[in-house]
Chains A and B, each alone.
Chain A
């Protein structure tokens, strides 16, 4: 039973480029969450999605960031025109019902040069 999958595990982008991070939830899970974590800091909630719908995007910056979870395929977190401050670990988590425990993927480490 595969867990939450994220790819790529490491991503290097130059300033101004776009970053696309992918997340496939656990089998049977339709709720996906994205978090950002800076070194030595806590998890920061970004966005919560359920198939084809954004439920809560209160933690996502208004500009340059977007997320989707299409009917088919993985959830995508997209960062346009990346800046050095976007360098962080981005974790995806999934849950079955939205009120139960979340399971985390291994994360994508984004480095902006």
Chain B
């Protein structure tokens, strides 16, 4: 079992829809959770971090954390073509582990 798992995608959503990206992790002791966006040919860019159970909203992005289910998700509301990228989930327990990423494609 991988330590941080993401569906590789591609996830395709129409413009204006909600994109839902999911991530599960294996270490119950994990304390910090991060979402990064990586455009093709560019470096990963931090979007959000979340430490506590529940939702955290920032603009069109909402991170959701459920430690009991070992599950963290990222919702992107009103998806735009410019949101098309690979989204990386990262989880920190004694070290930070990155998932392989989910490719999101937003169709205009």
Listed in ascending order, the chain A residues whose CB lies under 8 Å from chain B are: 33, 35, 41-43, 45, 48, 56, 91, 93, 99-107
Asked whether B20 is an interface residue with its Cβ less than 8 Å from the other chain, the reply is: no
| A106 adjacent to B46 (CB under 8 Å) | no
Q: Which residue of A lies closest to B49 (CB)?
A: A101
Measured between beta carbons, the chain A residues less than 8 angstroms from B43 are: 91, 104-107
| B88 adjacent to A43 (CB under 8 Å) | yes
Q: How far is the CA of A56 from the CA of B93 in the complex (A)?
A: 14
Q: How far is the CA of A33 from the CA of B92 in the complex (A)?
A: 14
Measured between beta carbons, the chain B residues less than 8 angstroms from A42 are: 88, 98-101
| A43 adjacent to B34 (CB under 8 Å) | no
Asked whether B28 is an interface residue with its Cβ less than 8 Å from the other chain, the reply is: no
Q: How far is the CA of A26 from the CA of B15 in the complex (A)?
A: 35
Per-position contact with A for B73-104: 1 when CB-CB < 8 Å, else 0? 00000000000000010101001111111000
Listed in ascending order, the chain B residues whose CB lies under 8 Å from chain A are: 31-32, 34, 36, 42-46, 49, 88, 90, 92, 95-101
Q: How far is the CA of A101 from the CA of B32 in the complex (A)?
A: 8
Interface residue from A41, A100, A104 paired with B44 (Cβ < 8 Å): A104
CB distance from A47 to the nearest CB of B (A): 11
| A104 adjacent to B95 (CB under 8 Å) | no
Q: How far is the CA of A104 from the CA of B39 in the complex (A)?
A: 13
What are 10 A-to-B residue pairs whose CB atoms are below 8 Å?
A: A33-B96, A42-B88, A43-B98, A45-B98, A91-B43, A99-B32, A99-B92, A103-B46, A104-B46, A106-B43
Q: Which residue of B lies closest to A48 (CB)?
A: B95
Measured between beta carbons, the chain A residues less than 8 angstroms from B46 are: 101-104
Interface residue from B44, B92, B96 paired with A91 (Cβ < 8 Å): B44
Q: How far is the CA of A104 from the CA of B98 in the complex (A)?
A: 13
Measured between beta carbons, the chain A residues less than 8 angstroms from B98 are: 35, 42-43, 45
